A and B are shown apart, each in its own frame.
Chain A
């Protein structure tokens, strides 16, 4: 308690200083302490209504972050006030009408809007000497989402779903713990909301909705909502439509021999229809019953609900409460949410900021597949970002994937899997290696789909197409594909691998690139299904896995990177042009490595895409124990395969050909 002049003010101790400052009370000293318990149920003079006394009540909803620790309570105009008022049996006094204007219950302000009345009330308080300070504050205040104007709180008669009757809240909370929430934090969010939410007010005073067929006794004013009337209403509406509630007389909905339990009245003429409608959230919340139960193709509970992250407060919650209330069970086994779409700077999109990117525009430039690829490129569990730059990157990724498909299709034009495919176990080692990598990819992609981690699929597929296929495997096998005789076993081996790559990749991307995948499916005649979406998702094939090869090829690929650097340098120094003009020499101090490389010497030339590779053992070599050099290969360039070979020029009929190409030409005649 503070003293200022002859006045004593009771405020919360923690807020005394800010109170002094706000009201300009200088050094007003603390002159005593009052236990709030001692004030409980005492009275004050009402500052406005001289004939009313204000009861002092205690509530836990008042916080100490602003004000004085004391608030005025209006049970008719605030939810906290209403709840605490109920505990003390306060009247719900509502001197405000539908338009937000004071009624005759507040004669001095009758007809004045609540917001307009504020300055006049403050003036009244000042005149009565009750105003200690009046200032302005800028704060976050609830507004209507449609009129964008500040709302007021006002008590009216409404219909509610009572969450305590039938233990709806309790059962809903139990159900929440049985549901799988993706991401997991969804569980806490909805649990806390359901735990603390008020009863659900389901009535609206509008026309566009499902009517609540309640009636009111003209004599007593009693409002009646009766299952028997509801049943006849349903019957009549089934025949005449929902407008019937507005168009048909009450007697048409009157059950035979109906006696109103509340009033004892028996005639429809004694009642009038009420025209509230159901909250639109009731509509969507009820679809588990109205739609799913009526459709044999749908099942309840559903396996999954998938919506934006705001639906913990919206549809997930209304659906859950409603089905718990009506059926005693949750409508879904899992609920998954996605984030908001933000612009490239992480800002929300809005018309006023001019940063809106419309799906219709994206579709017109990149197609739906482009947009779909963007969707999976982002981790939807957090907020997603989109901008022209991001879309350009996605478009590049799309082209990479499409190019991969085109390459594979193009090289399979003379390949009939029935006739030409080799068993995977009999493929060239490099081909078996890529099949093993494909198998691993299938495993990972499936796993990511199963866990709904779509962004991982994007990265896996994109990476596979660009790093493993485009920059490596497909580049290396070009020589075999292009230059061998068509039916050559090494070519059929590469084609078999290409066929498996195509057949599996296209099905892995089919759920995402729905159009492109089907286009590929048709071009490649991958059947037997007429449409890729009728095909099955690839499954890992144990016989394709070759962990031993993967280890070996990891070593070779590491060497390949080193060779690439050396070739790049040679190109820069203009010692060679294309890598095929080079001969590579690898010297190693490690005998085991030399042996390993010599054993694989045939592969190395292909792998490095050069014309010759030599491996030598060099005892004297210092750490790191290996050196790679590149020089122009000896011989002339084969006019067919562009490989440099000393043999070019030796055949008089085909002086432009290397030995291998000569052989091919002779075979194909």
Chain B
């Protein structure tokens, strides 16, 4: 048996033939494919394909636009994308419009920190412009990062809470609440940040270890108060315990 004969037989076998690479090279090739999808308007085509199917609407909770995405963001958007793609493939009109949360203290604080002493000379409108630039930068970053995860959707039409349209919509919602009489003015103890001199939401509170005083204080009962069980006793005090002497 010669080598020649062996080779001949090999050629008579129907061995697998494909250019499909075992080396996926995903980091290099995925962005190219995604760009292709975008050029073809794939997300819109998927929705159009299912135009007559039942609607499945997932409304996107907007991530806060003040940093690069972390693994939690990735998890959230990937779960949404898996779900929406399944819904589309299984016969739903599943339009997905991502959003970004752009207003608020964290961004304003960051901007004020960056501006440093200059901030005090700026008007609210100028500070707002800085905040807008800052938020827009992170919106653009996060959008690209989410796309890089293969997340489909109407990215060109993503909603920004700071956009003119959406801000007006938010104010319109507020107007409706005022009209319904559910908005009231009131005094209230709130979580108060003495550094930033502002009320904080419950969601803006984090608990951390703090060393406080622990004091027991006498509140002497006013002379002449007649209390059953205390008749005839002098020097009666209620004793309170507190960790905050000042209040």
Contacts and interface: CB of A to CB of B under 8 A. Distances in A.
Are the chains A and B members of one assembly? yes
B39 interface: no
Nearest to A77: B247
Interface residues of B, number: 162
A298 B34 CA distance: 24
Nearest to B210: A141
B33 A153 contact: no
Interface in A236-279: 237-238, 241-243, 246-247, 275, 277-279
A35 B217 CA distance: 21
Given A313-B202, A414-B14, A359 B89 contact: no
Given A237-B171, A284-B161, A205 B179 contact: no
Contacts of B196: 144, 146-147
Nearest to A134: B215
B124 interface: yes
Contact of B195 (A135, A147, A311, A534): A147
Given A32-B229, A68-B241, A22 B216 contact: yes
Contacts of B14: 411, 414, 481-484, 486, 491
A118 B213 contact: yes
Contacts of A230: 171, 174-175, 178
B115 interface: no
B213 A135 contact: yes
Contacts of A516: 24, 26
A135 B214 contact: yes
Nearest to A411: B16
A298 B172 contact: no
A603 interface: no
Interface in A551-584: none
Interface in B47-64: 47, 49, 55-59, 61-62
A280 B103 contact: yes
Contact of B192 (A115, A121, A153, A410): A153
What 5 A-B pairs come out closest when comparing CB atoms?
Answer: A367-B26, A410-B16, A290-B169, A100-B194, A280-B104
B211 A161 contact: no
A168 B182 contact: yes
A125 B103 CA distance: 45
A657 B9 CA distance: 9
B230 A225 contact: no
Interface string A361-381: 001111111111001100010
A380 B79 contact: yes
A341 B76 CA distance: 11
A207 B120 CA distance: 13
Interface string B158-187: 010100111111111111111111111111
Given A32-B230, A299-B57, A160 B82 contact: no
Contacts of B95: 297-298
Given A359-B71, A410-B20, A283 B161 contact: yes
Contacts of B24: 367, 369, 398, 402, 516
A275 B194 contact: no
B97 A298 contact: yes
Nearest to A280: B104
Contacts of B174: 210, 212, 230, 278, 282, 286
A219 interface: no
A175 interface: no
Given A371-B74, A405-B20, A131 B216 contact: yes
A370 to B, nearest CB: 7
Contacts of B179: 227
A160 B173 contact: no
A316 to B, nearest CB: 8
B220 interface: yes
B85 interface: yes
Contacts, number: 648
Interface in A59-116: 66-68, 70-72, 74-79, 81-82, 92, 98-102, 109, 113-115
A507 B73 CA distance: 26
B190 A153 contact: yes
Contacts of A165: 181-182, 184
A510 interface: yes
Interface stretch (A8-16, A419-427, A465-473, A622-630): A8-16
A372 B244 contact: no
Nearest to A661: B9
Given A7-B237, A139-B209, A141-B210, A159 B103 contact: no
Contact of B42 (A81, A332, A531, A661): A531
A68 B243 CA distance: 12
Contacts of B127: 207-208
Contacts of A149: 193-195
B247 A359 contact: no
Interface string B36-49: 01001010011101
A33 interface: yes
Contacts of A410: 15-18, 20
Contacts of B190: 153-156, 158, 201
B210 A150 contact: yes
B194 A413 contact: no
Contacts of B20: 405-406, 409-410, 519-520, 523
A54 interface: yes
Interface string B78-111: 1111110110111100010101011111111101
Interface stretch (A302-310, A429-437, A607-615): A302-310
Given A153-B189, A231-B175, A482-B14, A369 B216 contact: no
Interface in A503-538: 507, 510-512, 514-516, 518-520, 523, 530-531, 533-537
A410 B16 CA distance: 4
A449 B86 contact: yes
Given A11-B239, A406-B22, A138 B210 contact: yes
A100 B197 CA distance: 8
A375 B75 contact: yes
18 contacts: A9-B238, A19-B239, A22-B216, A39-B238, A56-B238, A78-B247, A98-B192, A118-B213, A132-B217, A146-B204, A158-B188, A223-B185, A287-B59, A306-B79, A366-B27, A411-B14, A507-B89, A537-B86
Contact of B61 (A143, A241, A306): A306
A122 to B, nearest CB: 5
A34 B198 CA distance: 43
Contacts of B108: 206-208
Contact of A302 (B29, B57, B145, B241): B57
A339 to B, nearest CB: 9
B109 A44 contact: no
Contact of A368 (B26, B47, B230): B26
A287 B167 contact: no
Contact of B219 (A38, A54, A115, A454): A54
A392 interface: no
Given A159-B185, A225-B178, 20 more contacts: A109-B246, A139-B210, A144-B195, A146-B193, A153-B247, A158-B190, A199-B188, A201-B188, A201-B190, A205-B197, A230-B174, A284-B62, A291-B59, A308-B76, A357-B71, A409-B16, A414-B17, A481-B14, A483-B13, A511-B82
Nearest to A299: B57
B70 A359 contact: yes
